[in-house]
Amino acid sequence: MASQRDIRRRIAAVRNIKQITRAMQFVAASKLRRAQDATLSARPYSDAIDEVIADVAAVLGGEAHPLLTAGKEGGRRLLVLFTTDRGLAGPLNTNTIRFAAREITEHPGDIAVVTVGRKGRDAMRRARVPLEAHFSGYGDRPTFADILPLARLISEDFLSGETARVDVVFSRFVSTLVQRPTMTGLLPIEPKEDSLVPGNQFIIEPAAGQLLEQLLPRYIATRLYQAVLESKASEESSRMVAMKNATENAEELIEDLTLSYNKVRQANITREMIEIATGAQRG
């Protein structure tokens, strides 16, 4: 049985950990509100540009721009994986990495990965999956400009013919308690089959090619930026819940240790009283 001193040390250590996890919980909660607002406010724009590009692609066809043209049959597939740089975010990274690993396993072939976030990079290296490039996380307040190097890399690989298809894997923010691993196709841009606007109702000025030259790079960057925002909101919500659970577990452990301490203390007092009584009888 542990001594009173050992139990007191354990209680003090757990209390210190509890203070840290509680502080991290509050910090994550404050960051979550900002990340959640940014994610939800950006979704309408992202959805709108998806619809515009898909409708224009349905009218103009794949020959209008190389990004609308399907890659060569059997060409390389590029997977863009978004994870976090830091841990202590519950099962968020594990679920996202497992989702990506399952996709790679179920669809074997010539595949490479671009990772955003250290956790995904380390996991892909351990699995010996070829890495095309790696980008560090974009901090607590990612900006649209931060995404442009990644968007440029993906576009150039696709236009050069090195990549036939690009998919994005990230954790979609559903609610504070739910973050769902998701994969969406990025390139080639596929027209909508159920477009509600017939092609002859479009008036494109000055020319379709110029319109696409302006829209397509922004479309790719917008889709990637939305994935970054979704991942950030998911990270903070998952971390807040994980730290809340850790704090509650620490409280329960402190109660158990305090009960054990009191039992040991009572046993020591009883033993001392017995020794005193035994000594008095002998005297």
What pLDDT score was predicted for residue 24?
A: 93
CB 64 within 8 A of CB 208: yes
What's the pTM? Answer: 0.83
Question: How many Å apart are CA 223 and CA 50, to the nearest integer?
Answer: 8
What pLDDT score was predicted for residue 173?
A: 93
What pLDDT score was predicted for residue 108?
A: 83
What pLDDT score was predicted for residue 95?
A: 94
Which helix (DSSP H) or strand (DSSP E) does residue 48 occupy?
A: helix 4-60
What pLDDT score was predicted for residue 202?
A: 64
- Residue 163: CB atoms within 10 Å: 23
What pLDDT score was predicted for residue 213?
A: 75
So where are the chain's domains?
20-242
pLDDT (tens digit per residue) in 231-269: 999 999 999 999 999 999 999 999 999 998 888 888 888
CB 150 within 8 A of CB 116: yes
Structure token pair of residue 240 = 């807040």
Cα 188 from chain centre: 24
The answer to whether the bond into 206 is cis (omega within 30° of 0) is: yes
CB 56 within 8 A of CB 215: yes
Residues forming beta bridges with residue 77, ordered by sequence position: 111, 165
Which residues in the chain land under pLDDT 70? 1, 58-74, 191-209, 280-283
What pLDDT score was predicted for residue 211?
A: 74
What pLDDT score was predicted for residue 207?
A: 66
What CATH number does domain 20-242 carry, 3.40.1380.10, 3.40.50.720, 3.40.50.200, 1.10.287.70? Answer: 3.40.1380.10
